[in-house]
Chains A and B, each alone.
Chain A
Amino acid sequence: MAGGFARGDVLLLIAVLAAFGVADAGYLTYQWYEAADSTWCDLDSYWSCSAVRESPWASVAGIPTAVVGVAGFGILLALAGAALRGTAGIGPWPTDRWILLFGILGAAVGAGLTLVEVFVIQAICILCVIGFALDLGILGLAAVLVRGSRTSRAAG
């Protein structure tokens, strides 16, 4: 594994980042249901969670977009937890590859929503950006994990 870190280190870090992601997306979901009576993540009208939350992009069919984040980070947390408990594979794939898959999906959704914020809503929700950064971190670690598995398989 890269940098002298063990596979367990990487998995634990993924679990920690995913836990922060669940908290972040969970709070955004809570905020969506609570409506606009809290402004703590509004720095100005551009860096504004409220502006993003009040946009049509904040929900699909009445379900807040942040719920997708809670589910995605929750799945990543569960997968990392399973791998830490020694689960080598789920269904046809090794657990590491599932983590990579959900890392890619999360980063793709995060990238799409960030582009919508910048170019369509023209306001940035800092908590959403933090969620996206957590996604990217998990994706990078998942790539390290899968590469490490391949290397050890090739060596073994």
Chain B
Amino acid sequence: MAQKKCPVCGVSVKLENLERHLRNQHPRADVDLETAFTEEERREATQAKTAARPTITAKGKQWIAIVSVAVAAVLILVIWNPFGGVGPGVGQVAPNFTVATSTGATISLSDYRNSPVVLDLMDVDCGACQSEALDVLQFVYLNYSVRGVRFLSVSLIDWTGGADTPATIEQFKADHGTNWVYGMDTTARTVRNAYQVQSTPTTFILDANGVITAKAVGRAPDGYAWYAAALDALLGS
């Protein structure tokens, strides 16, 4: 490989790298690049640069374009998610269910008719459920249970982490100040399927007739304010 001594520092540099060397190492040096190379050296440097860079064929470009479009399409499809279930939404009656509670009783959602209800579908091991309970739900409970709002949480049992048990749920309640009834979804995943849960927590605000007036997938978007707005609208204040 042809080399040439740098006219500034005297180091031997590959011909094709000399111009870059001068530009990067001696930016203030007064070297005329036009005269630094002979015509033959310039031709040799260009040839070396061209040889070092791998060529890209027209066929290659076509295939790369096809692969790029295919991968982009898969990503867009996943993001758009046309296959995801939606579950019951605002204006629909919340599906009834009957489940065991963490204290061994049995509870149905229909037992909660005639009162506004906060229905919280969660999992003990879900980080977002833990922070929602600790940062928001316990304070909503403090302020709204005295105004007649009832709270019901249902553990989806094995949504994430280990399977929730009555003991872990009771511990969760004690740790997060959420001292209301916690139901446990059945092994047939009755609640999860009825509500087509896609993320925990999923929270519904129901009016006295069991109609959904607000729904939050994941943590409530504005925290306490989201609950307050939905419940105040129901309570008329």
Contacts and interface: CB of A to CB of B under 8 A. Distances in A.
Contacts of B28: none
Given A20-B71, A35-B127, A130-B74, A13 B63 contact: yes
Contact of A56 (B78, B161, B189): B161
Nearest to B201: A36
A91 interface: no
B74 A13 contact: no
B78 A54 contact: no
B71 A39 contact: no
Contact of B59 (A5, A16, A24): A5
Given A35-B128, A45-B197, A55-B160, A6 B74 contact: no
A99 to B, nearest CB: 13
B126 A16 contact: no
B11 interface: no
A41 B81 contact: yes
Contacts of B59: 4-5, 9
B55 interface: yes
A51 interface: yes
B79 interface: yes
A147 interface: no
A8 B53 contact: yes
B56 A6 contact: yes
Interface residues of A, number: 44
Contact of B200 (A7, A38, A54, A83): A54
Interface stretch (B111-119, B140-148, B214-222): B214-222
A36 B53 contact: no
Contacts of B79: 40-41
Interface in B194-233: 196-201, 217-219, 221
A6 B84 CA distance: 42
Contacts of B123: 54
Given A36-B219, A39-B199, A86 B52 contact: yes
A36 to B, nearest CB: 4
A123 B128 CA distance: 17
A44 B49 contact: no
A76 interface: no
Interface in B91-136: 123, 125-128, 131
Given A35-B128, A36-B219, A8 B159 contact: no
B7 interface: no
Interface in A69-102: 83-86, 88
Contacts of A44: 84-85, 196, 198
A84 B54 contact: yes
Contact of A7 (B54, B78, B160, B189): B54
Given A35-B127, A55-B160, A127 B78 contact: yes
Contacts of B71: 16-17, 20, 130, 134
Contacts of B196: 44
Interface of B: 49, 52-57, 59-61, 63-64, 67-68, 71-72, 74-75, 78-81, 83-85, 123, 125-128, 131, 156, 158-161, 189, 192, 196-201, 217-219, 221
12 contacts: A4-B59, A6-B56, A8-B54, A8-B60, A16-B71, A17-B71, A36-B127, A36-B199, A43-B83, A51-B159, A54-B126, A83-B54
Given A5-B57, A36-B199, A45-B197, 20 more contacts: A8-B57, A9-B56, A9-B64, A12-B60, A23-B75, A36-B218, A40-B84, A42-B81, A45-B192, A50-B218, A51-B159, A54-B123, A54-B161, A55-B125, A55-B160, A55-B161, A56-B161, A86-B53, A86-B54, A126-B78
